[in-house]
Structure 1
Amino acid sequence: MIVNGSPATQLDIADRATQYGDGCFTTMLVKNGKVEHWEAHLTRLQASCERLFIPFTKWDELTNSVLKNTQHGSSFVLKVLISRGSGGRGYSPEGAHQPIYIISQHPYPSHYDDWQKNGIELNVSSITLAKQPLLAGIKHLNRLEQVLIKHKLANDAFQDCIVLDTDDVIVESSVGNIFWYHENAWYTPSLSFSGVEGVMRNHILDYFTAKHITFHQCRETQEAIQSAAEVFVCNSLMGIVPVSAIEFSDGHRAYYLRDKTRELQMGIVDYQV
C-alpha cells in the first residue's frame, strides 16, 4: 500500500476515511503496464473532491505515483482512495486540512473474462438505494448499501443483480452500470438521485455520441427492461458484460439476445475519446 507516495502498512486511527467514510475512490484496470482511462478516473476524483469540499491538491504527485506503480506487464487492479485526512472531532470537517491519497494493488478478477464471453444472469435486489442528489454519481466511501446488496446476492444463485432506488426505479447493478436496448435505441438510468457515474459508462456514452447511436438516460421501473431485446452491465474492470437472463421481482424470467452488445464490445475496444 502507498500512502502519500511512500510505502505504508498503517493509517492514522483518527483518519476520517475510517471514522466517517469521508472521502472518495476509484478502481482501475492496469493492462500491459498502462492504466486504462486514467485521465477519466483522475477527472472523476477531482470532481468528487470538489463536490465533497475536500481540499486535495497533490494531483501531479498522485499521477506520478500511480504511473510508477503500473510499470510491469501483468494485468491487475489499482485502487486510488482520497481521504479528507485526520483532524477535528465529530462530523464537522473543520481542522482536517491535509487530505491523503492511498494506492493499493489487487489481483484481477479472472472470472470477468468468462462473464464477457458467456454472459451472466441477474435478479432484482430486494435492497434499495436511498435518494440523495448531493451524493449522486460520486464513488464516495459510504458503501454500506452496496455491502448489504452484496451480502444478499451471495445467498442467491445469480452473478449480479439489478438495484432499484426507493421509488422502485432502476439505478445500476451491484457491480456497475446497466444498459438495455429497445426499439433501435440504448437506455441507461439517469443518476440524478443515486448510483455511481462509472468511467466505463461515460466512455460508452461518448462512443454512442461519436458514432451517432441513439441513447437515452431515463428513470424507469424494472418493467421497462422486461421488454428489452438486449441488456449489459459494465464497469472499468470487467468492461462490457452481456446479460443472458433476468429474474424479476414478480417471478417473470426474461431472456436476451447479445448481437448489439457483441458489436459494442468489439467497437469500444479501440475507441479513444
Structure 2
Amino acid sequence: MYWINGIEQRSISVGDRAVQFGDGCFTTAWVKTGEVQHLDEHIARLQNATSSLLMPACDWPGLRSEMQSAAAGHDEAVLKVILSRGEGGRGYSALGAQGPTRIISVSGYPQHYHQWRTEGIELALSPIALARSSQFAGLKHLNRLEQVMIRMHLDKTTAQEALVVDTAGMLVECCAANLFWRKGRQVFTPSLAHSGVAGIMRQRIISVLQQSVDFSVEEVSETPQTLSDAQEVIVCNALMPILSVKKIENWHYNDPQLLDFLTPYCL
C-alpha cells in the first residue's frame, strides 16, 4: 500500500526531484501490533536529514498521524517514509520546488529475520567501497547506488550481509545494517564521520552501552583486520533489529554475551 501526500495512490510525477536527482531522505520502521516502533526516533531522523539537506519544512504532526494510520491493523510489517524536495526547480537548482513530497508505504515483514535471530548470519567482505563525504555522512538520503551495487555483489555469495569499508579502507557498516564488535568488555563501532548511515538501532545500542556498568563503547576507525581477534560481532537495524554474526570470511564467533545483554533493549 502506498500513500503520496496523504492520498492512497502509487503514481508520482516524473518531475519530482526524488526521481530526477534522488533529492530527499527516508527512514524504514518496524510495525508491530499496529504500532510504529521507535516512532519518535524515526521522526527525529527525518527532521535532522531534511534540515541537513536544506529541505522545506514538513508538517511533522501530520506526517506522524499518517504513519500511525498506515501502521494500524498490521500485526507485523515494514513502513517506509520518503521525503523529497518535491517537484520544481530548473536543473539542479531547487528554486521554485514545491515540496516536500511525502511518500509512505507498508509492505510485508521479512520473515527470514526471525530465522536469522535464532541462527546468526555470515558476512562477506564487499568489493564496493563507500565514498567519503563528511557533509552527507550519517544521513539516510535517497542516493543509494553504492548500496545497490553492494547488494548485487552480496547476492553472488552465500552470506546474508556484507562487511563494507570506505575508500580509505576503514570499516563503516553493512549493506543495510550497522556494525558492532566486542573484545572483552570493550565494544566498538565504526565512526561515521566520513560515510555510512547513523541507524536508529545503532544509536539506541550506543546509549544503552554508555549507561552500562558491564560494557564500554567507543566509535573507532579500524580496518577489517581488527575483527580477527574479536570475541563477538553483531549487526543491527530498525527491522532486524539485532543479529549475531557467526562468521566473517575465515573468522568465527560463538560467544554472544553482548547479544544477550542487548536483546531486551532492542526487541
| Code of the aligned partner of 1:10 | S
Of the three residues 261, 264, 268, the one matched with 2:261 is 264
Give distance in 2, aligned partners of 1:162 and 1:267.
25
Aligned equivalent of 2:124: 123
Gaps (5+ residues) in structure 2? none
> For residues 78 and 60 of structure 1, what CA distance do their matches in structure 2 show?
17
Runs of 4+ in 1 over 3 A off after TM superposition: none
Give the alignment partner of residue 232 of structure 1, picking from 229, 234, 256.
234
| Distance in 1, Cα, partners of 2:259 & 2:204 | 16
Secondary structure of the equivalent of 1:69?
helix
Q: Which residue in 1 is equivalent to 2:148?
A: 147
Amino acid at match of 1:223: Q
SS of equivalent residue, structure 1 residue 135: coil
- Paired residue type of 1:85: G
> CA separation in 2, counterparts of 1:216 and 1:53?
30
- The answer for the alignment partner of 1:158 in structure 2 is 159
Matches within 5 A, 1:67-106: 67-106=68-107
Q: CA deviation at 1:260?
A: 1.2
Corresponding residue of 2:33:
32
Structure 1: 5+ residue runs without aligned partners?
248-252
Deviation of 1:199 after TM superposition, in Å, equals 0.3
Q: 1:269 deviation in Å?
A: 4.0
SS in 2 for 1:162: strand
Does structure 2 retain, via aligned residues, the 8 Å contact 1:200–1:239?
Answer: yes
Aligned amino acid, residue 13 of structure 2: D
Q: Which amino acid aligns with 2:252?
A: Y
Deviations 1:219-252 (A, max 9, x none): 10011111100001100000110000100xxxxx
Query: What is the aligned length?
Result: 265
Q: Tell me which residue corresponds to 1:11.
A: 12
1:33-72: CA deviation from partner (whole Å, max 9, x where unpaired): 1111010010010000000000122111101111111111
Q: Helix, strand or coil for the counterpart of 1:188?
A: strand
Deviations 1:69-127 (A, max 9, x none): 11114100000000000001211111114211110011100000111111011111011
1:163-174 aligned at under 5 Å gives the runs 163-174=164-175
The answer to whether the 8 Å contact 1:30/1:76 transfers is yes
| Structure 1 residue 265: Cα displacement | 4.1
What RMSD over aligned residues (CA atoms) do the two structures have, in Å? 1.1
Alignment partner, residue 222 of structure 1: 224
CA distance in 1, matches of 2:170, 2:106: 35
Moved more, 238-247 or 1-10: 1-10
3-state SS in 2 of match to 1:244: strand
Q: Report deviation, 1:211.
A: 2.1
CA distance, structure 2, for counterparts of residue 101 and residue 8 of structure 1: 12
TM-score, with length taken from structure 2: 0.96
The answer (yes or no) to whether the contact 2:30–2:239 under 8 Å persists in 1 is yes
Amino acid at match of 2:19: T
Matches of 1:122 and 1:33 in 2, distance apart?
32
Letter of the 1:107 counterpart: G
Instruction: Kindly state the Cα deviation for residue 3 of structure 1 after the two structures are TM-superposed.
Output: 0.9
Is the 2:205–2:262 contact (alpha carbons within 8 Å) kept by the matching residues of 1? no
Match of 1:207 in 2: 208
Instruction: Please give the secondary structure, in 2, of the residue aligned with 1:166.
Output: coil
Helix, strand or coil for the counterpart of 1:133? coil
Per-residue CA deviations over 1:120-162 (Å, capped at 9, x if unaligned) read: 1111101100000010000000000000000011111211110
**Partner AA of 1:242 in structure 2:** S
Query: Is 208-217 or 191-200 further displaced after alignment?
Result: 208-217
Q: Matched residue of 1:179: which SS?
A: strand
- Alignment map for 1:170-209 (pairs within 5 Å): 170-209=171-210
Instruction: Supply the AA of the counterpart residue of 2:222.
Output: E
Q: Where does residue 250 of structure 1 map in the other structure? A: none
Indicate the residue corresponding to 1:108 in structure 2.
Answer: 109
